[in-house]
Structure 1
Amino acid sequence: MAAGPAPPGGCPSAQRPHLSKMERVVVSMQDPDQGVKMRSQRLLITVIPHAVAGEGPRRLGWGASGPALASPHPSLCCAGSDIVEWLIQKYCISEEEALHLGTLLVRHGYLYPLRDPLSLLLQPDDTPYRFQTPYFWTSTQWPAAELDYAIYLAKKNIRKQGALVDHEKPGVPSVLEQGPERGSCTARPRTWISTGGRYVLGATGRGGLADPCAGHLTGLVSQIEYCRKALGRTRVKSSVCLEAYLKFSSQHGPHDPIMSGCLPSNPWIADSDTYWVVNAPSVAAPTKLRVDRWGFSFRELLEDPMGRAHFMEFLRKEFSAENLSFWEACEELRHGGQAQVPALVDAVYEQFLAPGAARWVNIDSHTMERTLEGLRRPHRYVLDDAQLHIYMLMKKDSYPRFLKSDMYRGLLAEAVVPPETKWRVFPFMRKPRRSSPSPALLASMEPAAAAGGPRGGDGEA
């Protein structure tokens, strides 16, 4: 069949220069007067099609999974030797160059080998080749249709070959099926992408090679994965989010020096440093705001030296103080000097992790295996897994009991509430006593002043 313009269903993509040149060569090869010599073949009702080329009829097959074709219309084919000879005469090139150019045409899907579709090489003998129709050219894209795949599966079931072979499974190209025209035998490589239990058809190339537009298919696969994850993502209602924001704001509002001020005063604008004194790392009695923050989160409790000291006292009463000691040792290892890392690792292992250690901590077997493997080459982060395990153990078990204990309630009851000093939080926001009026007010005041000036002058006199 002579080449012509792409069918209306296709959509021309951005043409590459080498594709344009190859398509012009293919169009010239199909010229009825000066093109390659064509031979007619007739497709019979059989699984393995037959073609007439060179030395007469030969059995040509697509493999065991090829579809059965039935068409009374003739189809044109040509031999590989005819193609090589035409290229040599047309472009005055050597036989090696002609073979290379013909192989490129085969690999890009412009020529389809009828005898061995998996061999993408141009053979300079009587091997028959068929020109692909422009519908299957690399520069043409067509919309994917699931109906084509359904028809293909129905054909396999009729032949009692319902199971998909390797090259037909999802994600693997080269599914051979009948072309859009009734009398054409075409190899239409595609990929069937599994989406939620069904298959979506996507083109991956022509002639058995990767499609130059494979980036489009990759983008389609990534979009499918993104949508699949989005459907499974937990959605939170707007009302729930707003309630969480309101709760957070109401909880942290009294502790924000900008919103509520500093008690007893802001040391940056006052001469008193009482605020720094009552909030020192170690004091006799903490402030009520400071003790309240310990209940916000476990991280707030550990970041405050005084809160960590009271938590250590609570753990001693529960006979689990070694957990917090191990966490502190890991923090010292992580933020300590590099020269002391090997010695600190050995000390922590001997004190907390070694069999029969004096302050042994309870760590699961998998975490212990990873930790022991890392101890062969110690570094400052070698105990991160064990530290995280102990941290989560204290957060989920010991920390809630600490907040409900009599010790924490006593700290809240005995906490100090500093008396408020009468200082403005932002003195620069204080309105000056003698401020200049706006130009708009001055403009409106001028007529009134001019009219009342004489009377005012008479009154004053």
Structure 2
Amino acid sequence: MISVLQPELIAQSAPLKTHKYFRVAVPQALTGQTLVAFLQELMAFDDLADALHLATLLLQHGYIFPVIEHSLLVKDDNTLYRLQLPYFWPSHATHTDNVEYAIYLSKRLMRNEQKHGLEEDEVEAYNKLLELLGHMWDFITVQAEMQLKIQKEKKKSDKVVYDSEERAFWRTRRPGQANCLEQHIQKREKKLRKRTAAVYRTELERLKFTLKTKPWLKAVKASETMVSWCEQFHDYDPFISTPQPSNPWISDDTNLWVLNTDSVEVPTERRVKRWGLSIQELVRDPIGRQVLETFLESEFSSENIRFWMAIQDLKFSTNEQVERKAQRIYEEFLSSGAPCQ
């Protein structure tokens, strides 16, 4: 896709030509409408919006740039755009440093201030670089003068085009700015590895295991279990069902909190019904756990619930308490001759 953006190749379908903008000649440019139509034809897009989106991505990544209006969105109208010089493509210009940027800013300062003057952020960057690279500023100045001398030998139209290409490049790739690519494309290419026979064998074994265990059936069963669980707890979710007797945050009636405290003598009917959903719901409620303890005492097996409660307390203890509580559990429940063995 990017190779098609070579100026000599794109000229066949979307020729670059000189346009007039308020009596000013703009060489080697094309309109947004022409660019979008070219991309739609090239990629065989059915929807014009897809071509417009692709053009915007190319602009944001630095492969094309606007000539007059500095915007990050491509417009499907007569707005003028230029194709970036392949030398300045992000896939070619892999790294930019402070020295190159300092040479570019110095070169701008040596030219006509009205046409090539620095913007506020560029002035700030220039001052910082001058302080940072002061020990090699003579070298930077000499390099800027040499590049400026070579550029003066070009034709006027070529100088205008090159100036815009260079400025567009440094606008998006200057040091210290976020790169438009989260991970550079060349770094991605280095990680590509040729798939070996061992890789295919491992994938084949994994697929065979999948066919054997049939995880899609387990997923269906899990979804059914989840739906059943949600239906069971529908009446106990205050976001779905209206609390009884009323929501204290809306009605200022605190009876709901009073009836559901851990120290209430008679639990509500809804609370007792919830104990029947699972053993976890029963032991999670302090009153339910107390009822279970009373029942187990009558069956002479209360040590079971006491052992479970001690283990739960151990699981959520601090590190300094673990050894002491584990020793107490061992002495009370697990050691030879323990009182609750």
The interval holding the TM-score normalised by the smaller chain is 0.3 to 0.5
Q: Kindly name which structure, 1 or 2, has the bigger radius of gyration based on alpha carbons.
A: 1
Higher relative contact order (CA 8 A, sep 6+): 1
Q: If the length of structure 1 is used for normalisation, what is the TM-score? A: 0.30
Higher helix fraction (1 or 2): 2
Q: If the length of structure 2 is used for normalisation, what is the TM-score? A: 0.39
